[in-house]
């Protein structure tokens, strides 16, 4: 499962670096245009897509880059959302203040959770992070007076111009914040810090032998992920206008994991692609009246994970295409086998 080709090399030549920028910039332009062209209902869905894209990207910092499968990122997503919602509900705190505060609260929470959870490995880690997020979920549920429990916090939480009748404003705001956050996350993955993170995923013992404090490094990663998950949660309040306890449920953590798997965890923007496919897919199945969304999601996930473990991004990668072209021409050249298809 561990290929060496799945990450962008740090030492990519300048020309490829510029080429690497073309895709994201084109995508961003397309997203902005889509917000102006598409009907309001789709723009509303797009707002959630962007929120979940950031959530999935932040989760993938742990899963794809760190090899740390966390099933508890909803804790930080929910913390971000509740920072804004509860600040508004109890103290009428300014939206802008809580928006800035939210990621820091998420990061702080991640520091506490990570300090304990990172003492464990693999499945224990996955299940311990799940337990933490479930703990916050049941606490939020039980503390009805403070959190409004299952009823959720609704109302004019965000400023007038972000609500309004035109969903485009809110969309552009969410897109702008999320894009900046994605850029920051990309910087993290492309830095020496990110390289150490990936190297630890591949061979923990060797990195320890080299003198890397793996625990501290992974804890830092966990905090960064929690920071951006909370920012995504804060943006969720802008997109949905509410905060409910379901945001803390492990099902919510699951969403980020499935988006990552569907989109492709070994390409930086893969999880964002997964968020797009997943959100619109669920939306489509629900609206079409077909029902059985669990069945479709289950089949899609199963097919993806068994046949295309590198996700949609892997399916779209040039290597896969040239592999198919080669196959069509009947050239069974083993050297040009598509990557990641072991």
124 versus 324: smaller Cβ distance to other proteins: 124
Helix ranges restricted to H, 38-166: 40-60, 74-86, 95-117, 122-142, 144-147, 160-163
Q: Binding to other proteins (CB under 8 A): which residues in 198-217?
A: 205
- Helix (H), strand (E) at residue 154: strand 153-154
Based on the shown chain and the rule CB under 8 A, indicate whether residue 141 belongs to the binding site for other proteins: yes
Q: In the bound complex, what is the minimum distance in angstroms from residue 48's beta carbon to other proteins?
A: 20
- The only residue of 124, 146, 215, 321 in contact with other proteins, by rule CB under 8 A: 124
Of 330, 326, 315, 222, nearest to 262 by C-alpha is: 315
Listed ranges 39-47, 86-94, 130-138, 177-185: which one lies at the site for other proteins (CB under 8 A): 130-138
Based on the shown chain and the rule CB under 8 A, indicate whether residue 126 belongs to the binding site for other proteins: yes
59 versus 179: smaller Cβ distance to other proteins: 59
Based on the shown chain and the rule CB under 8 A, indicate whether residue 150 belongs to the binding site for other proteins: no
Token duo for residue 260? 């990552």
Measure the CA–CA gap between 269 and 312, rounded to whole angstroms: 11
The CA distances from residue 328 to 206, 229, 321, 322, in Å, are 42, 43, 10, 10
Q: How far is CA 129 from the centre of its chain?
A: 16
Measure the CA–CA gap between 50 and 59, rounded to whole angstroms: 14
79 versus 130: smaller Cβ distance to other proteins: 130
The β-bridge relationship of strands 153-154 and 242-243 is antiparallel
Q: Binding to other proteins (CB under 8 A): which residues in 154-193?
A: none
Task: Enumerate residues 6+ apart whose C-beta is below 8 A from 160.
Answer: none
Contact (Cβ atoms closer than 8 angstroms) between residue 46 and residue 34: yes
72 versus 80: smaller Cβ distance to other proteins: 72
Q: In the bound complex, what is the minimum distance in angstroms from residue 77's beta carbon to other proteins?
A: 18
Of 276, 339, 334, 332, nearest to 308 by C-alpha is: 339
Based on the shown chain and the rule CB under 8 A, indicate whether residue 69 belongs to the binding site for other proteins: yes
Of 218, 178, 226, nearest to 199 by C-alpha is: 218
- The only residue of 40, 97, 138, 156 in contact with other proteins, by rule CB under 8 A: 138
Site string for other proteins, 273-312 (x = CB under 8 A): -------------------xxxx-xxxxxx--xx--x---
Residues pairing with 243 in the sheet: 153
Measure the CA–CA gap between 170 and 137, rounded to whole angstroms: 28
Based on the shown chain and the rule CB under 8 A, indicate whether residue 130 belongs to the binding site for other proteins: yes
Token duo for residue 323? 């592999």
Q: In the bound complex, what is the minimum distance in angstroms from residue 306's beta carbon to other proteins?
A: 6
40 versus 116: smaller Cβ distance to other proteins: 116
Based on the shown chain and the rule CB under 8 A, indicate whether residue 119 belongs to the binding site for other proteins: yes
69 versus 196: smaller Cβ distance to other proteins: 69
Name the residues that contact other proteins, by CB under 8 A. 1, 63, 69, 71, 116, 119-124, 126-128, 130-132, 134-135, 138-139, 141-142, 205, 250-251, 254, 257-258, 261, 292-295, 297-302, 305-306, 309
């Amino acid at each position: 499962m561990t290929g060496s080709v799945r990450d962008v090399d740090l030492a990519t030549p300048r020309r490829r670096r510029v080429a690497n920028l073309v895709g994201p910039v084109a995508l961003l332009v397309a997203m902005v245009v889509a917000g102006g062209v598409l009907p309001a209902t789709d723009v509303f869905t797009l707002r959630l897509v962007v929120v979940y894209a950031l959530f999935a990207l932040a989760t993938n910092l742990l899963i794809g880059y760190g090899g740390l499968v966390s099933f508890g990122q909803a804790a930080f997503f929910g913390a971000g959302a509740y920072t804004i919602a509860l600040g508004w509900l109890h103290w009428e705190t300014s939206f802008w203040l809580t928006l800035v505060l939210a990621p820091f609260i998420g990061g702080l929470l991640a520091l506490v959770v990570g300090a304990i959870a990172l003492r464990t490995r693999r499945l224990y880690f996955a299940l311990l992070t799940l337990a933490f997020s479930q703990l916050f979920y049941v606490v939020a549920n039980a503390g009805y007076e403070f959190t409004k429990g299952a009823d959720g916090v609704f109302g004019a939480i965000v400023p007038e111009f972000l609500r309004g009748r035109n969903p485009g404003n809110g969309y552009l705001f969410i897109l702008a914040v999320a894009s900046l956050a994605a850029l920051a996350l990309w910087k993290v993955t492309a830095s020496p810090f990110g390289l150490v993170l990936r190297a630890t995923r591949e061979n923990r013992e060797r990195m320890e032998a080299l003198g890397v404090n793996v625990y501290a490094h992974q804890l830092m990663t966990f905090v960064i992920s929690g920071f951006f998950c909370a920012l995504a949660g804060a943006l969720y309040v802008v997109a949905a206008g509410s905060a409910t306890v379901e945001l803390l449920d492990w099902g919510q953590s699951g969403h980020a994991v499935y988006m990552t798997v569907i989109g492709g965890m070994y390409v930086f923007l893969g999880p964002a692609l997964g968020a797009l496919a997943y959100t619109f897919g669920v939306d489509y199945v629900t609206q079409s009246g077909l029902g059985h969304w669990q069945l479709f999601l289950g089949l899609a996930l199963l097919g993806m994970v068994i046949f295309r473990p590198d996700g949609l991004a892997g399916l779209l990668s040039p290597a896969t295409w040239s592999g198919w072209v080669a196959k069509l021409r009947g050239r069974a050249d083993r050297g040009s086998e598509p990557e990641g298809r072991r």
